[in-house]
Amino acid sequence: MSNCIFCKIMSKEIPSTIFYEDELCIAFDDINPQAPVHVLIVPREHVATFNDLGEDKKELIAHLCMVVNKVAEIKKIQDPGYRIVINCNPAGGQMVYHLHVHVLGGRHMSWPPG
Ligand code: 5GP
Ligand code: ZN
Ligand 1 center to residue 32 CA distance, Å?
7
Give the count of domains, the chain. Answer: 1
- Asked if residue 110 belongs to a domain, the reply is no
| Contact partners, residue 91, CB within 8 Å, separation at least 6 | none
- Asked if residue 88 belongs to a domain, the reply is yes
Residue 2: its pLDDT value, please?
86
- Asked if residue 33 belongs to a domain, the reply is yes
* Cα distance between residue 59 and residue 104, in whole Å: 23
Ligand 2 center to residue 6 CA distance, Å?
5
- Asked if residue 92 belongs to a domain, the reply is yes
- Asked if residue 39 belongs to a domain, the reply is yes
State which residues form the domain around 58: 5-105
User: What's the average model confidence in pLDDT over 104-108?
Assistant: 98
Residue 1: its pLDDT value, please?
83
Going by the DSSP 8-state scheme, the letter that residue 98 receives in this structure is: S
- 100 confidence band (pLDDT: 50, 70, 90): very high
- Near ion ligand 2, which residues have CB within 5 Å? 1, 4, 6-7, 46, 98
| Contact partners, residue 74, CB within 8 Å, separation at least 6 | 19, 20
Q: Look up the CATH number of the domain holding residue 40.
A: 3.30.428.10
> Given a cut of 90, is residue 42 above it in pLDDT?
yes
- Annotated catalytic sites, by residue? 100
- Asked if residue 95 belongs to a domain, the reply is yes
CB 101 within 8 A of CB 68: yes
pLDDT digits (tens, 9 = 90+) for 44-62: 999 999 999 999 999 999 9
